[in-house]
């Protein structure tokens, strides 16, 4: 597949808007600069009139760095539209957790969106960012979401979390390798419970393959806590010194490992080799 390489201007958000208005993301050119090889072919999302009825084995994940430039940047831009979950979650955090006025909360949410979006686009080769989506066939992949998974202290918020664990004398409770899951969302048009389960499954499989014992989830949107509790997360008191974000933890104990391997089988993911290496 031919790579698309153009100059990209940084996207900007309309900071004069408010959450009751219809705000859109503006940019002059939505194609990224240089990328690595190994680009994965993507379907043209403009050709999709509606979400097809998916089988579980159609859900798929590809490292963000392996998507063609145009598709990777376009996906990130869409995910950070003000009416999508990232911006809405940021707004609820500033508005209801930090008790700011509507105007101030929306201003801060838009700025947080812009900062995060620019960081993603400037580091599309980050090996710890992934896309999630579905395959239309063996050669066409439709990316509709992203998530990050990395060693805990490789993320700037993870470093704060590690310090919070030390300050609270909780490191003995969380023995073993620690990981962090972050920056997850999918386009609301394609969001469903199966997509959420599949993304969670990919995070858990990454943990098993990397030998991680505990995965910490860092969230602005507190509503996700209710959903993630059903997946087995616990929510210790781990608010940071300068943050009140929701932090959950998923521990790769024997019960959870069996749950993850069973879910992988339901999604058509072969984990026989992984199971043997784990001796389960």
| Structure confidence by residue, pLDDT tens digits, 60-95 | 999 999 999 999 999 999 999 999 999 999 999 899
Proportion of the chain in helix, strand, coil states, percent, rounded to 5: 40, 20, 40
Helix (H) or strand (E) holding 260: helix 254-266
Residue 1 has pLDDT above 70, yes or no: no
Helices in the chain by DSSP H: which ranges?
69-79, 85-92, 102-122, 156-167, 193-210, 224-230, 254-266, 272-278
Token digits for 34? 């240089």
Q: Where is pLDDT greater, at 144 or 165? A: 144
- Report the half-sphere exposure of 231 (CA within 13 A, side-chain side): 26
Q: What class does CATH assign to 64-278?
A: alpha beta
- 113/104 Cα distance (integer angstroms): 14
- What pTM, to 2 d.p., does this model score? 0.81
Token digits for 229? 């509790």
Percent of the chain with pLDDT over 70: 80
Q: Where is pLDDT greater, at 268 or 168? A: 268
Cα–Cα–Cα angle for 58, 61, 62, rounded to 5 degrees: 130
Map residue 25 onto helix, strand or coil.
Answer: strand
């Amino acid at each position: 597949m031919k790579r698309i390489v153009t100059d990209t201007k940084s996207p900007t958000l309309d900071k004069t808007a408010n959450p009751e208005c219809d705000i859109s993301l503006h940019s002059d050119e939505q194609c990224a600069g240089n990328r690595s090889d190994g680009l994965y072919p993507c379907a043209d999302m403009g050709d999709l009139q509606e979400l097809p009825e998916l089988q579980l084995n159609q859900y798929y994940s590809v490292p963000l760095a392996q998507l063609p430039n145009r598709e990777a940047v376009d996906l990130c831009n869409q995910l950070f539209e003000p009416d999508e979950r990232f911006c809405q979650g940021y707004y609820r955090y500033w508005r209801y957790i930090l008790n700011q006025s509507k105007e101030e909360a929306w201003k801060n949410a838009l700025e947080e969106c812009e900062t995060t979006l620019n960081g993603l686009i400037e580091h599309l080769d980050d090996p710890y960012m992934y896309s999630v989506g579905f395959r239309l066939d063996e050669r066409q992949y439709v990316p509709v979401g992203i998530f990050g998974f990395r060693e805990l202290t490789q993320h700037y918020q993870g470093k704060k979390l590690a310090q919070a664990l030390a300050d609270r004398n909780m490191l003995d409770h969380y023995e073993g390798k620690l990981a962090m899951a972050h920056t997850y969302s999918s386009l609301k048009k394609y969001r469903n419970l199966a997509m959420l389960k599949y993304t969670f499954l990919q995070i858990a499989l990454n943990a098993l393959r990397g030998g991680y014992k505990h995965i910490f989830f860092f969230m602005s949107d507190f509503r996700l806590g209710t959903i993630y509790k059903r997946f087995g997360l616990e929510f210790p008191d781990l608010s940071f010194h300068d943050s009140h974000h929701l932090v959950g933890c998923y521990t790769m104990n024997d019960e959870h490992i069996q749950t993850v391997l069973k879910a992988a089988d339901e999604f058509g993911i072969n984990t026989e080799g992984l199971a043997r290496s784990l001796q389960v």
